């Protein structure tokens, strides 16, 4: 039985706190050891091995680091998804606006139709861009198809062959021209969607996210476009791809189907910048008749359904002062 010590006045702030006489040194050591062991167990049990913090810690937005026996938590803030671009016109209205703009002959306005309007380009390049757009968009589409108002295609029927223009809605709420595909042998509008696109979109996205160029080339569109230039041209710049940059800022971003048909498919990636991924079919059977030898050839082993490119189509607008 221990005696209860008489009540004492609180010591001054500068005084060393007194330890009750009944707590011996022999009991302090085991107690401290037990506390240290508990701390170690809690530290080990706070992670599931996936690299993210548990619900009792700082969550997925924080990381713990230990230095000199102390633990500190630093919050990591990820950008919020911006969402898809606003809609200010239908695809039919876009066709009328594009036709009117091309007919005006104003190259500044015509170049603005392109989803990738060249910035700080020379006057010579702007003139070439304007001439190409006039040629590709001057005709009236024979058919058109919209996919949830975020993407669309114009089919053009020629005397000898068909072609299809791909359009994407961007941050101004309007459709813009992305590219023209001549690798079609008939109308694309109304053809059934090919479910195989879903697997290709996932594979391409993961390859881009992890910056794995070899994996990317296995699902890349190689008839025309960026990947047609080959590994030596594609891979050195692959680490700077826009999908990887977007996911680094918004890890929650994943591709979600917008829509498509047998020849084209569109997926949205909702990050700090909203991306529209475009996929297309490249089958030898759709090679247009009368094409010159060596042109529009599908290399052996190339996938039938493939990734073409990702376009930034919406981002947070800066507030005007």
Per-residue pLDDT of 144-192, as tens digits, reads 999 999 999 999 998 788 999 999 999 999 999 999 999 998 899 999 9
Helix, strand and coil content of the chain, in percent to the nearest 5, comes to 30, 25, 45
Residue 119 is predicted with a pLDDT of: 73
| Alpha carbons 176 and 69: distance in angstroms, whole number | 57
| Alpha carbons 93 and 86: distance in angstroms, whole number | 15
Tens digit of pLDDT per residue, the chain (321 long)? 333 444 444 444 444 444 443 334 444 444 444 444 444 333 444 333 333 333 333 333 333 333 444 444 555 678 899 999 999 999 999 999 999 999 999 999 999 999 987 678 888 999 999 999 999 999 999 999 999 999 999 999 987 889 999 999 999 999 999 999 999 988 999 999 999 999 999 999 999 999 999 999 999 999 998 898 889 999 999 999 999 999 999 999 999 999 999 999 999 999 999 999 999 999 999 988 888 888 889 999 999 999 999 999 999 876 655
In the block, which residue shows the tokens 């016109």?
89
121: in domain: yes
- Domain span at 142: 91-315
Number of domains in the chain: 1
219: in domain: yes
What DSSP string describes 35-70? HHHHHHHHHHHTB-SSSSB-TTTT-TTEEEEEETTE
The tokens for 264 are: 């084209």
DSSP state of 142: S
258: in domain: yes
284: in domain: yes
34: in domain: no
31: in domain: no
46: in domain: no
Q: Are 203 and 214 in contact (CB under 8 A)?
A: no
43: in domain: no
∠ CA 255-260-262, rounded to 5°: 120
């Amino acid at each position: 039985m221990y005696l209860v010590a008489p009540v004492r006045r609180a010591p001054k702030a500068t005084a060393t706190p007194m330890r009750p006489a009944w707590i011996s040194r022999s009991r302090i050591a085991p107690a401290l050891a037990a506390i240290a062991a508990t701390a170690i167990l809690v530290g080990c049990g706070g992670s599931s091995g996936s690299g993210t913090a548990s619900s009792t810690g700082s969550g997925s937005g924080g990381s713990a680091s230990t230095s000199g026996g102390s633990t500190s938590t630093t919050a990591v803030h990820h950008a919020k998804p911006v969402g898809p671009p606003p809609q200010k016109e239908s695809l039919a209205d876009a066709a009328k606006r594009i036709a009117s703009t091309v007919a005006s002959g104003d190259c500044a306005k015509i170049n603005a139709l392109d989803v990738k309007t060249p910035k700080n380009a020379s006057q010579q390049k702007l003139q070439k861009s304007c001439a190409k757009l006039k040629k590709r968009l001057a005709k009236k589409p024979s058919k058109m198809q919209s996919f949830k108002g975020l993407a669309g295609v114009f089919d053009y029927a020629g005397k000898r062959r068909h072609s299809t223009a791909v359009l994407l809605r961007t941050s101004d709420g309007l459709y813009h021209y992305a590219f023209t595909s001549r690798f079609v042998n008939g109308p694309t509008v109304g053809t059934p969607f090919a479910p195989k696109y879903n697997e290709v979109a996932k594979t391409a996205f993961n390859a881009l996210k992890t910056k794995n160029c070899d994996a990317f080339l296995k699902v890349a569109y190689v008839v025309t476009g960026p990947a047609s230039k080959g590994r030596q041209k594609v891979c050195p710049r692959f680490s700077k791809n826009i999908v990887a940059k977007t996911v680094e800022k918004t890890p929650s971003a994943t591709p979600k189907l917008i829509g498509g048909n047998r020849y084209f498919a569109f997926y949205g990636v909702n990050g700090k910048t909203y991306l529209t991924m475009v996929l297309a079919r490249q089958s030898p059977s759709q090679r247009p008749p009368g094409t010159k030898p060596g042109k529009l050839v599908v290399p052996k082993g190339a996938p039938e359904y493939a990734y073409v490119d990702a376009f930034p189509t919406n981002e947070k607008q800066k507030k005007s002062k």
